[in-house]
Amino acid sequence: MIIIITGASHTGKTLLAQRMLEKYKYPYISVDHLKMGLIRSKNTNLTPADDDELTNYLWPIVREMIKTAIENKQNLIVEGCYIPFDWRRDFDEVYLESIKFICIAMTDGYIEAHFREIKEHGSDIESRLDDSYCTIDTVKAENRKYVEGYKKSGETITLIDEDYEQIICDLMKR
């Protein structure tokens, strides 16, 4: 089984991946780790700010890693925000049968009511060296982008509107 966890920044993707690793003992790969390895090793001239270009650059690598894991009957959690909205087009049905897709997003209302906590928990699993870009407006805009993009592609989005912890626990049961 391959579990893809995606969504906007600060939605808890890494937290969910870590909890799934602990519960199911599936290894997980952070697409952010892959991104930073390629950037720091100078295998790309892209920077962490080049979101759209990074999706185009990283997705072919991640896609083929997913296919390899499926072909080898291995479990894997793939966590990150660089999953294209139309990711399914890159897999035949035989692959899709082995992939579980989770997209996490927050509603504007939730962000407004809980922005301080969202920022406070931003480094719970991984340390964010610079979180200055994270404002209530950028968080709202990014969440809307994910909701609109994945809905347009026919994906189901898990919307966090009230009890964050309960939603994460519910995702663990699926």
10 Å CB burial of residue 154 (0-12, 13-18, 19+) is exposed
Name the DSSP letter for residue 161: S
pTM of the model: 0.90
Question: What is the maximum alpha-carbon separation in the chain?
Answer: 45
Which of 97, 56, 100, 55 minimizes the C-alpha distance to 80? 55
pLDDT mean over 53-57: 95
Q: What is the mean pLDDT of the chain?
A: 90
Which residues on neighbouring strands pair with residue 77, listed in sequence order?
Answer: 3, 28
Convert the pLDDT of each residue in 83-122 to its tens digit. Answer: 999 999 999 999 999 999 999 999 999 999 988 887 675 5
Convert the pLDDT of each residue in 144-156 to its tens digit. Answer: 999 999 999 999 9
pLDDT band for position 134 (cuts 50, 70, 90): low
pLDDT band for position 141 (cuts 50, 70, 90): very high
Whole-number Å distance between alpha carbons of 172 and 19: 8
Look at residue 126 in the predicted model and tell me its pLDDT.
57
Look at residue 168 in the predicted model and tell me its pLDDT.
86
Is the distance from CB of 106 to CB of 33 less than 8 angstroms?
Answer: no
Q: Which contacts of 69-72 are long-range, i.e. CB under 8 A and separated by 24 or more positions?
A: 69/2, 70/2, 70/95, 70/98, 70/99
